C-alpha cells in the first residue's frame, strides 16, 4: 500500500539546508590552529581538506557544531515552496554523531518550524530510504537512491559528475518547475 | 543501483526489541497514581490504556523512559542471528520525543553493541523506509511497508489481523528459517 498521493523528496541537511563548510573551517582553526579557506578546500574530500580531523572527526563531535550551523541561503523559502506540491522528508546522516541528534531537531525547529516530526529521519547510511527524489551533496547517498538523484554543489563534490547538479536553492526550484511542466505534458 | 546483496530487515525498537508495556504501566503509576496491569490493557490502544497520558504523552517525554527500558526476552541473540544472513536496520519512530534520540542510541550501544551507527534509523513515520522485511508492533507502520510485514505481538495490537503475527523472538527466528528454506527451494 502507498501512503503518499504526492511525490516524495528526501532533503539532506549538512551541505544542503545547512552551510557546513564555513563551520568546518572555523572549528578546524579553533581545534588545530590551522587556517584554511573555501578556495583552498575546493575539490578536496573532508579527509583531504581537514587531515588532522580525519581520524577522530573531533570537530563534528563537539557540542554546538550542528546547533550553530548557518542556514544555506534560500533554503527556508525553497523548502516551504516545495512542500506545497511534494511530501518533503528531511533525511540526515546523524547517528555517527550522537550529540548531533538533539541539536539537529532543535536547529530544524528554529529555522524550519513548519516541518513536523513525522517528516524527519536521522539515520546512518541512506540506502533504505525510498523517495521519488533525493537532494544531497554526497555520492555515497545519491548513488544508491532509488529515485531521481540531485547533487547539491559543494567544494568536496566538484569532481563527481554522475548526477544532475544544482548550485543553489534557486536552481533546485527551477529544476522542480521543469519536472512539473514535464508531468503536466504527460 | 542497489547497495545490499543480502536482503534487508527493518526492526522496530519499542515493543519489539524493548519491552515497553511494563515501563508504560510503571510510569503511569508514578505520574498519575493509577495502577493498571498487562491483563487490564489487553486489546487497548495506548490512549485507551493510559487515558490521562493520551494528550501530552508526558511519560514518554520524561528523561530516562527510553534509556531504562528492559530488553525484550531473546531479542539480543535473535538479532545477532538474523545479522548472519540479513542486512539488519533498526528503524525506530523517535523524532516525536526529542529526548529519546540520544537515549535510544545509548540503549542500543549497551545491549546491542554489535549494531553499527550506519544501520540505525530514528524517524517519524516509516513510510519512506524500504526493506524486504519489517518487524513492528504497529499497523500504522506495517500497513505501508513495501516489503513483507511481520507483526510483533503486543497488548495494543490484539485486534489487528492483517499481518503475519509473531509472539516472541523464537517465532521470529522460526519464520526466517522458513523463509530461508523456501528461498533455497527456488
pLDDT, tens digit (0-9, with 9 covering 90-100), for B99-130: 999 999 999 999 999 999 999 999 999 999 99
The grid cell for A91 is 533525511
Residue A133 dihedral angles phi and psi, to the nearest 5°:
-135, 150
- Determine the pLDDT at residue A63: 95
- Determine the pLDDT at residue A2: 61
The grid cell for B69 is 527500558
**Looking at A12, A53, A136, A137, which residue is catalytic?**
A12
Contact assignment for B95 to A122 by CB distance below 8 Å:
yes
Q: A14-50: per-residue pLDDT in tens? A: 999 999 999 999 999 999 999 999 999 999 999 999 9
Q: Which of residues 146-165 of B touch A (CB under 8 A)?
A: 146
Q: Tell me which residue in A3, A102, A129 faces B102 most closely, judged by beta carbons.
A: A102
With a cut of 80, say whether residue B39 has pLDDT above it. Answer: yes
- The CA distance from B30 to the nearest CA of chain A, in Å, is 26
Question: To the nearest whole percent, how much of chain A has pLDDT over 70?
Answer: 98
ipTM of this complex prediction, to 2 decimal places: 0.94
Nearest-angstrom CA–CA distance, A100 and B56: 25
Helix locations, A54-165, DSSP H:
75-85, 100-111, 139-142
List CB contacts (< 8 A) between B135 and chain A: none
Within 8 A by CB and 6+ apart from A14, the residues are A20, A66, A69, A92, A93, A137
B113 touches chain A (CB under 8 A): no
Which residues make beta-bridge pairs with B22?
Answer: none
Active site residue A12: yes
Within 8 A by CB and 6+ apart from A19, the residues are A69, A70, A71, A72, A73
The grid cell for B77 is 541473540
Domains of chain B, first to last: 8-19+70-185 (3.40.50.1000), 21-61 (no CATH)
DSSP string across A147-182: SEEEEEP-GGGTT--SSEEE-SHHHHHHHHHHHHHH
Interhelix angle B169-185/B75-85, rounded to 10 degrees, is 20
Nearest-angstrom CA–CA distance, A11 and A119: 10
Residue A17 near residue A112, CB atoms below 8 Å: yes
pLDDT band at residue B3 using 50, 70 and 90 as cut-offs: low
- Determine the pLDDT at residue A1: 54
With a cut of 90, say whether residue B186 has pLDDT above it. Answer: no
The grid cell for A3 is 501512503
Chain A residue with the nearest C-alpha to that of B147: A1
Contact assignment for A124 to B124 by CB distance below 8 Å:
no
Residue A134 near residue A145, CB atoms below 8 Å: yes
B123 touches chain A (CB under 8 A): yes
With a cut of 70, say whether residue B94 has pLDDT above it. Answer: yes
- The CA distance from B142 to the nearest CA of chain A, in Å, is 10
Nearest-angstrom CA–CA distance, B153 and B74: 14
**C-alpha dihedral, B62 to B67 to B72 to B74, nearest 10°:** 180
Amino acid at each position: 500500500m502507498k501512503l503518499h498521493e504526492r511525490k516524495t523528496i528526501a532533503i539532506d541537511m549538512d551541505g544542503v539546508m545547512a552551510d557546513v563548510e564555513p563551520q568546518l573551517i572555523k572549528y578546524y582553526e579553533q581545534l588545530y590552529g590551522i587556517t584554511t579557506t573555501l578556495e583552498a578546500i575546493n575539490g578536496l574530500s573532508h579527509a583531504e581538506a581537514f587531515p588532522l580531523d580525519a581520524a577522530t572527526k573531533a570537530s563534528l563531535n563537539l557540542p554546538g557544531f550542528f546547533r550553530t550551523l548557518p542556514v544555506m541561503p534560500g533554503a527556508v523559502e525553497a523548502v516551504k515552496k516545495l512542500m506545497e506540491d511534494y511530501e518533503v522528508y528531511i533525511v540526515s546522516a546523524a547517528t555517527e554523531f550522537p550529540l548531533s541528534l538533539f541539536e539537529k531537531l532543535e536547529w530544524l525547529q528554529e529555522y524550519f518550524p513548519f516541518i513536523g516530526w513525522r517528516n524527519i529521519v536521522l539515520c546512518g547510511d541512506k540506502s533504505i530510504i525510498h523517495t521519488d527524489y533525493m537532494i544531497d551533496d554526497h555520492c555515497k547517498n545519491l548513488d544508491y537512491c532509488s529515485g531521481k538523484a540531485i547533487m547539491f554543489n559543494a567544494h568536496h563534490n566538484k569532481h563527481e559528475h554522475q548526477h544532475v547538479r544544482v548550485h543553489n536553492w534557486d536552481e533546485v526550484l527551477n529544476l522542480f518547475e521543469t519536472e512539473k511542466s514535464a508531468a503536466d505534458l504527460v
